[in-house]
Amino acid sequence: EYKLLNLLEFNSTRKRMSVIVQDEDGNIFLLCKGADSVIFDRLGKNGKDYQEATHTHLANYGEAGLRTLALAYKSITETEYSEWNAMFLRAKTTINVDRESLLENASDLIEKDLILVGATAVEDKLQKGVPECIDKLAQAGLKIWVLTGDKTETAINIGFACSLLRQGMKQICLSLKSLEECSNQDKSAKAAKESISLQITNAYQTISLETNPDSAYALIIDGKALAYALEADLKDQFLKLAINCASVICCRVSPKQKALVTRLVKEGTLKTTLAIGDGANDVGMIQEADIGIGISGVEGMQAVMASDFSIAQFRFLERLLVVHGHWCYKRISQMICYFFYKNIAFGLTIFYFEAYTSFSGQSIYDDWYMLLFNVILTSLPVISLGVFEQDVSSEVCLQ
């Protein structure tokens, strides 16, 4: 049996969680699980024996569309644990505004020099009707971006499964894989930014020089590369590249990055943006978009509570946009025109009557009629038009 000593909770910034346990012999261990990119960065020199094999397994799992986690551990001496636990308890019991940063620093201090154990893979099937829904929305002229916390291979597999990516579509991948071994952080950050800038420039030139009008490009970028692409001097270039691609997939992104990408598209293109999600990680993105839609389900109700509309399954988005969106647009526009029409007709009648009576000041309408004209006498037709008007049937909209 094991005794639980501490719990270092998961959050979207850490992308990992850990527990510190003690066995019956008094040995203390830290057990950690999280995103492979995070776990691999925290491995010690003696903990990388299975890294290459695990990386291969993770890639295979991702290509199969499975959601993956990496597992690692380390042994802790009693002296080391006692010193760290005192610091962790001080951070946990503080009431200052920097409590979260103190907890993060304490967690970083203990979650290092880990030994890789392996990886897990869990199947997460697409909901019924998702590929058909995305295909219909694309036919309707919507530009669809996927912002996900999954690893790149998993996101690409899901992209093919939901018809966002197609066979023959040329993929542009922005990443920092070639720079991951650099040890100097300042040089690494500068080199990473230059690399992303160069990749964006080259990719945009490739699209600009494309002579085949039927060629389609898909942009795929991971969270580390996206962090540099969203910086002030690169974000406009990144957006210019992204809007020229048929599909965009952002992998291993944090909730903050989801919101920043949504804001970039909204402010950079001045188009109406819609965000849809089902978990707490999607709340920032949903609130940042012009229209937020939450999917109720096993992920909880945070996304639903933060959204403008709530649906039970993703496939219902098709009817919400294509049918009800079309009807509501027509109803509102025609209702406003109806209001202008009846009030202009009402006002012109009075004007022409005054001209006919040599502007004597006599009114053509009774005072009560003028008072009730908009409130009662002409309100029902306008309200009926705004509520019940259907210029075409739902079947026609869905074709």
CA distance 218 to 163: 12
Distance CA 131, CA 136 (A): 9
Looking at residue 285, its pLDDT comes to: 94
pLDDT at 166: 84
Return the sign of the alpha-carbon dihedral for residues 285, 291, 292, 293: negative
What's domain 3-123's superfamily in CATH? Calcium-transporting ATPase, cytoplasmic domain N (3.40.1110.10)
Cβ-count burial of 333 within 10 angstroms (0-12 exposed, 13-18 middle, 19+ buried)? exposed
Q: From CA 129, how far away is CA 363, in angstroms rounded?
A: 62
Helix pair angle (326-356, 379-388), 10° resolution: 160
Contact 314, 129 (CB under 8 A): yes
Q: What is the mean pLDDT of each run of 10 residues along the chain (399 residues)?
A: 90 87 92 91 89 90 85 93 92 84 89 92 84 88 89 86 85 78 63 90 90 87 91 92 92 92 94 91 92 85 90 91 91 92 90 86 83 85 89 83
Vertex 337, ends 334 and 343: CA angle to 5°?
Answer: 140
Q: Based on the number of CB atoms within 10 Å of its own CB, is 267 exposed (0-12), middle (13-18) or buried (19 or more)?
A: exposed
Cβ atoms of 227 and 257 within 8 Å: the answer is yes
Backbone φ and ψ for 374, nearest 5 degrees, come out as -80, -35
> Nearest 5 degrees, angle CA 390-CA 393-CA 398?
125
Q: Which residues are annotated as a binding site for ATP?
A: 10, 33, 67, 148-150, 252, 258, 281-282
The answer to whether the beta carbons of residues 284 and 278 sit under 8 Å apart is no
Element spanning 85, H or E: helix 78-93
In DSSP notation, 174-218 reads E--GGGTT---HHHHHHHHHHHHHHHHHHHHHHHHT---TT--EE
**103: Cβ contacts below 8 Å, ≥ 6 apart:** 88, 91, 92
* Residue linked to tokens 């202008």: 340
Provide the 8-state DSSP code for 229: H
274-277 sheet: strands from edge to edge:
274-277, 291-295, 309-311
Which residue, among 98, 92, 89, 162, has the nearest Cα to 124 in the 3D structure? 162
Give domain 133-315's CATH superfamily: HAD superfamily/HAD-like (3.40.50.1000)
Q: How far is the CA of 369 from the CAs of 348, 361, 364, 365, 366, in angstroms?
A: 16, 17, 10, 6, 5
Instruction: Please name the helix (run of DSSP H) or strand (run of DSSP E) that holds residue 16, with its range, or none.
Output: strand 16-22
Give the C-alpha separation, 307 to 330, whole Å. Answer: 23
Residues making up the annotated binding site for Mg(2+) are 278, 282
Give the residue numbers of the binding site: 10, 33, 67, 148-150, 252, 258, 278, 281-282
∠20-26-30 over CA atoms, to 5°?
A: 20
Decide if 248 contacts 217 (C-beta within 8 A): no
Taking alpha carbons only, the member of 265, 259, 264 closest to residue 277 is 259
3-state percent helix, strand, coil for the chain, nearest multiple of 5? 50, 20, 30
Domain boundaries, the chain: 3-123, 133-315, 323-398
Q: Which two tokens stand for residue 308?
A: 């403008």
Distance separating alpha carbons of residues 146 and 155, to the nearest angstrom: 9
Distance CA(42)–CA(36), nearest Å, equals 10
Q: Which helix (H) or strand (E) element contains residue 321?
A: none
C-alpha–C-alpha distance, residues 136 and 398, integer Å: 8
Strand-strand pairing, 170-174 and 274-277: unpaired
159 DSSP β-pair partners: none
Q: Are strands 28-34 and 66-76 parallel, antiparallel or unpaired?
A: antiparallel
